[in-house]
Amino acid sequence: MTSSFEHDVLIIGSGAAGLTLALQLDATLRIAVLSKAELTEASTYYAQGGVAAVLDATDSTDSHVQDTLIAGAGLCHEDSVKLTVENGPEAIRWLVDQGVGFTLDETEHLHLTREGGHSHRRIIHADDATGRAISTTLVERVRECAHIDLMENRVAVELITTQKQGLDGENRVIGAYVLNKDTGEVEVCRARFVALATGGASKAYQYTSNPDIATGDGIAMAWRAGCRVANMEFNQFHPTCLYHPQAKSYLITEAMRGEGALLKLPDGTRFMPRFDERAELAPRDIVARAIDFEMKRLGIRFVYLDISHKPADFITGHFPNIYRKCLEYGIDITKEPIPVVPAAHFTCGGVMVNHHSETDIANLYAIGETSFTGLHGANRMASNSLLECFVFAMAAARDIRSKLAHTAAPPSVPAWDATQVRDPDEDVVILHNWDELRRFMWDFVGIVRTTKRLERALHRVLLLQAEIEEYYSHYRVSSNLIELRNLVMVAELIIRCALMRKESRGLHYTLDYPQLSAVLADSILSPEEPSRRRQRNDTENRRQSSALS
């Protein structure tokens, strides 16, 4: 008998966005939070920088808005930017009330630092491990709530909608099929509301600062269910990740440059002033491209980030975790520079949502990096992403509360049918395709692009999709297979959006169209017509054919 669960709200993802939504909803509701691994295994936990908000008397909402619009290279939705910035102070107060231990200054007020693109000090942080402080605190608060079921080690396979079930009326989400990694069973999780908070898709690239879970699950599931996506071509590459053969994608926070660290070539000379008057404090896309240019020009594998000219006490006090981590690899940042390289860091596009975080499908929400709110435009400004998580999770909670009275319980749905599949006998196929995808995405759809490279990548990704769908239809699902299937789908969306943009703007830089276009437009992709989409989803339909016992 297939395990089946029913909740009022199903939240897929346990990062800042998902946990905030869970805590903002009423305690009278039955809520489920799904996590691929432990609750803290999300991009939030690894965020070093902080949260941007206007809290200083010398700063202003207008200034934060203008900085964001400038960083976004003309594509930010100004109404979304204002909504986010105006609600920033409330979000910070809520986090403080939850017990997040932000760093204080000598006057016992919140210490504010500055990062690239910001004209003022407005980054609230917990030393250089802000994400860890936020994540662990919110997990503690969630664990205290008896009405919230924490379902760890589970991977969402597919959304369940009324349209997919052949039910009449408005298409709405009614749950999800979920793989229990401990038992291998695909469970049925029904809910009146579902929120996708699964993070971004930076694992599509060979080098990334993200944890292994960042495989674009929510974006892929929403697309297959019928939601539009936008601006997937804008993938932010963090300029400074630790380059060391034994280090696994360790991020060196942008706050270090905000506190005076300098980027240098192997001979010790600075190079950022040649690329931008803001030098090391230029937006991330400019810094990442500059590093990429110098690496290719000189044939080197990394550049250096140097803060050793600052007092040792200052360095260890502001960046204790980075100091300790680098020391593990024999690098004393108080005395020598850090070897760094750009890495895929943030997915600026995503599932299109309104100001309530609702998608094109009724009662389906997308929040955090999974969503496209219009905040980031063509380039995310540092520390705006965590703020977006809190503000739009709060908005989703308000919208769900307003709809509770007239939203019926989810209907019964078929169990997942695994009778026509068998255990995989060649997992090497998954591993090979995973590696191939990440390599050609890095080479052809990376920091600098061309139309020919993009076309080559599209051709290869479609072949991979065909191979993976054939595999998916014949073998029992696994976590690796689900993630690979989603990642290949999202890779196609990234490539197609990149091919649509005939200009270089923000994070999308192509040698074929190096200039800005006079026309400002988002790259919006719409799923196929329902009849064609149903053909594409034959595999899911076959597996959803048996009735619940």
Is pLDDT above 80 for 549?
no
Domain contains 109: no
Asked if 2 and 120 count as a contact pair (C-beta separation under 8 A), the reply is: no
CATH classification at residue 167: 3.50.50.60
Q: What tens digit of pLDDT does each residue of 113-165 get?
A: 887 788 899 999 988 788 899 999 999 999 999 999 999 999 999 999 999 89
What is the per-residue pLDDT for 117?
A: 80
Tell me which of 113 and 242 has the higher pLDDT: 242
pLDDT band at 426, cuts 50/70/90? Answer: low
With 60 as the cut, is the pLDDT of residue 525 above it?
A: yes
At 387 the pLDDT is 96
- What distance in Å separates the CA atoms of residue 463 and residue 440, rounded to the nearest whole number? 13
Same domain assignment for residues 447 and 518: yes
> In terms of domains, do 380 and 285 share one?
no
**Over 70: is that where the pLDDT of 378 sits?**
yes
Indicate whether 292 and 323 sit together in one domain.
yes
Is 216 found in the same domain as 306? no
Residues 22, 159 within the same domain: yes
546 — pLDDT class (breaks 50, 70, 90): very low
- 384 inside domain: yes
Q: Is residue 97 part of a domain?
A: no
Cβ-based neighbours of 521, under 8 Å, separated by 6 or more: none
One domain for residues 497 and 527: yes
Structure tokens at 216: 């674009």
Residue 542 predicted with pLDDT over 60: no
Domain enclosing residue 324, as ranges: 239-344
453 and 415 share one domain: yes
The pair of three-digit structure tokens given for residue 443, joined into one six-digit string: 């080479």
Q: Residue 251: its pLDDT value, please?
A: 86
Query: In the predicted model, what is the mean pLDDT of the chain?
Result: 91
Structure token pair of residue 250: 């360790």
**458, 492 Cβ separation under 8 angstroms:** yes
Average pLDDT over residues 315-339: 96
Residue 518 DSSP symbol:
S
Q: In this predicted structure, what is the pLDDT of residue 544?
A: 42
Mean pLDDT of 262-290: 93
Look at the chain and report how many structural domains it folds into.
2
Is the pLDDT at 343 greater than 50, yes or no? yes
CB atoms within 10 A of CB 466: 11
pLDDT in tens, 10-34: 999 999 999 999 999 999 999 999 9
pLDDT mean over 363-390: 95
pLDDT over threshold 60, residue 496: yes
Q: What is the pLDDT of residue 349?
A: 97
Q: Exposed, middle or buried: residue 425 (CB in 10 Å: 0-12, 13-18, 19+)?
A: exposed
Q: Do 220 and 537 contact (CB within 8 A), yes or no? A: no
**Band (422; pLDDT cuts 50, 70, 90):** confident
How much is the pLDDT for 48? 66
Predicted pLDDT of residue 431:
85
Residue at 58 is within a domain: no
Span 244-249, mean pLDDT?
80
Above 50 in pLDDT, residue 532?
Answer: no
| pLDDT tens sequence across 37-96 | 887 776 777 666 789 999 999 999 999 999 999 999 999 999 999 999 999 999 999 999
DSSP 268-314: S-B-GGGT-TTGGGS-HHHHHHHHHHHHHHHT-S-EEEE-TTS-HHH
Tokens at residue 102, please?
């932000």
Is residue 265 a part of any domain in this protein?
Answer: yes
Active site residues: 284
- Residue 548 is predicted with a pLDDT of 29
Mean of pLDDT values over 1-15: 92
Quote the pTM value.
0.88
Q: In this predicted structure, which of 118-132, 309-323, 333-347, 440-454 has the lowest mean pLDDT?
A: 118-132
Domain annotation covers residue 99: no
Lowest mean pLDDT among 168-177, 310-319, 425-434: 425-434
21/150 same-domain check = yes
DSSP helix, strand, coil percent of the chain (3-state; round to 5): 40, 20, 40
Same domain, residue pair 380 and 488: yes
What are the structure tokens assigned to 330, written together? 């024999």
Distance CA 411, CA 210 (A): 37
Element (H, E) at 458: helix 451-474
168 and 195, same domain (yes or no): yes
Report which of residues 418 and 443 the model is more confident about: 443
Q: Is there a single domain that holds both residue 400 and residue 523? A: yes
Q: Which of 344, 376, 396 represents a domain boundary (last residue)?
A: 344
Tell which of 288, 318, 344 closes a domain. Answer: 344
pLDDT of residue 248: 73
- The least confident of 299-303, 362-366, 390-394 is 299-303
| Domain CATH number, residue 260 | 3.90.700.10
Give me the mean pLDDT over the 410-431 stretch. Answer: 81
Position 530 pLDDT exceeds 60? no
Where residue 423 falls among pLDDT bands split at 50, 70, 90? Answer: confident
Q: Is residue 101 part of a domain?
A: no
pLDDT higher than threshold 50 for residue 374: yes
Q: Which is higher by pLDDT, 544 or 385?
A: 385
Structure tokens at 484: 């690979």
pLDDT at position 184 over 80: yes
Residue 164 sits in the same domain as residue 259? no
Cβ–Cβ < 8 Å for 483, 438: no
pLDDT of 342 reads: 92
Average pLDDT, integer, range 434-458: 94
Q: Is 141 part of a structural domain of the chain?
A: no
* DSSP output for 322-343: HHHHHHHTT--TTTSPEEEEEE
pLDDT tens sequence across 498-513: 999 999 999 999 999 9
| Alpha-carbon span 374 to 522, nearest angstrom | 9
d(CA 354, CA 235): 21
Which residue among 310, 344, 378 closes a domain?
344
